[in-house]
């Protein structure tokens, strides 16, 4: 199995389903954990040197962070419902607790921080939702913690892609400190599928192909993107959801498209011109 693929497992201690740390990934910035909690379960953690974005993927909870309490948050019961999630931003240097009010799928997104910003609730109305691509490259993007929102390192976004479509496509990368043209951002993908017994295909590859992995990714799995391009294909009949976590030395998303596939953007412009 590829070292870039971390398959989910039945909930273990504290409901942990899958996790990656900076140490286990061999990089500097991104950590990610996902938990499956039952109603009444409580997860208590220290932030240590990380800022954190808790994303309530599905279910309801009370969240306590640095003396603040956010009660009865959460609305959707599945990541495939047509609404953004509730999330909570938590600064580095404190503790937090999550008590599940229903069955709860919880994502914990981590990156280095100093405690610059205070805790806050990120409601569905705060999210920026946009449609990207066209035709079989269409998908819906929900910006949960974009670069326009206050944070030190984290960028968090979720993407829904219909079965038969491609996403994170045409292929792009962000693995060079070469601003303003490109930023260095490590990235994780947390994949969910509908129906859950399916799979998506994700390829991670760089220009000289010293990295070139193509993976069949099952439900509740994490894919690591340390560098290179990283498109996703959802087979017909199986809708795709993924949560992206990105972080790097500069908190901005500046990407570079693979030159061989940039003609696809010109095709989009040609179709737009024909409609005009």
Q: How far apart are CA 260 and CA 171, in angstroms?
A: 9
19-45 per-position pLDDT tens digit: 999 999 999 999 999 999 999 999 999
Question: What residue ranges define each of the domains in the chain, with the CATH number in brackets?
Answer: 5-264 (2.60.120.10)
150-204 per-position pLDDT tens digit: 999 999 999 999 999 999 999 999 999 999 999 999 999 999 999 999 999 999 9
Q: How far apart are CA 226 and CA 204, in angstroms?
A: 9
Encoded tokens for 194: 């509908």
Residue 149: the pLDDT is 96
Q: How far apart are CA 23 and CA 219, in angstroms?
A: 24
Residue 268: the pLDDT is 57
Cβ atoms of residues 191 and 242 within 8 Å: yes
User: Does the structure show a pLDDT above 70 at 275?
Assistant: no
| pLDDT band at residue 132 using 50, 70 and 90 as cut-offs | very high
Q: How far apart are CA 254 and CA 169, in angstroms?
A: 15
The alpha carbons of the chain give a radius of gyration, in whole angstroms, of: 18
| 209 SS3 class | coil
Output the CA–CA distances (angstroms, integers) from residue 219 to 87, 91, 104, 134, 142, in the order listed: 22, 30, 16, 25, 20
User: Does the structure show a pLDDT above 70 at 276?
Assistant: no
Q: CB 249: neighbour CB atoms within 10 A? A: 12
106-125 per-position pLDDT tens digit: 999 999 999 999 999 999 99
Residue 2: the pLDDT is 87
| pLDDT band at residue 98 using 50, 70 and 90 as cut-offs | very high
């Amino acid at each position: 199995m590829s070292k870039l693929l971390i398959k989910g497992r039945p909930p273990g201690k504290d409901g942990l389903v899958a996790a990656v740390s900076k140490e286990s990934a061999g990089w500097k910035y991104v950590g990610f954990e996902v938990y499956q909690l039952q109603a009444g379960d409580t997860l208590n953690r220290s932030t240590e040197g990380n800022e954190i974005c808790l994303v309530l993927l599905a279910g309801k909870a009370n969240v306590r962070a640095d003396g603040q309490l956010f009660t009865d948050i959460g609305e959707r019961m599945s990541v495939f419902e047509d609404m953004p999630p509730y999330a909570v931003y938590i600064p580095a240097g404190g503790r937090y607790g999550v008590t599940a009010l229903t069955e709860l799928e919880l994502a914990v997104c981590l990156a280095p921080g100093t405690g610059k910003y205070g805790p806050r609730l990120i409601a569905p109305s705060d999210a920026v939702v946009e449609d990207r691509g066209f035709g079989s490259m269409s998908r819906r993007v929900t910006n949960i913690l974009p670069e326009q929102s206050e944070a030190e390192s984290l960028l968090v976004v979720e993407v829904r892609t219909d079965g038969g479509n491609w996403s994170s496509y045409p292929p792009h990368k962000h693995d060079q400190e070469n601003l303003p043209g490109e930023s260095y951002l490590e990235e994780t993908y947390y994949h969910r599928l509908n129906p859950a017994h399916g799979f998506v295909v994700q390829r991670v590859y760089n220009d000289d192909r010293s990295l070139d992995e193509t993976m069949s990714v099952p439900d509740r799995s994490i894919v690591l993107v340390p560098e290179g391009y990283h498109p996703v294909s959802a087979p017909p009949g199986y809708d795709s959801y993924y949560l992206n976590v990105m972080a790097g030395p500069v908190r901005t998303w500046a990407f570079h498209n693979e030159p061989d596939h940039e003609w696809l953007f010109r095709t989009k412009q040609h179709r737009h011109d024909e409609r005009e």
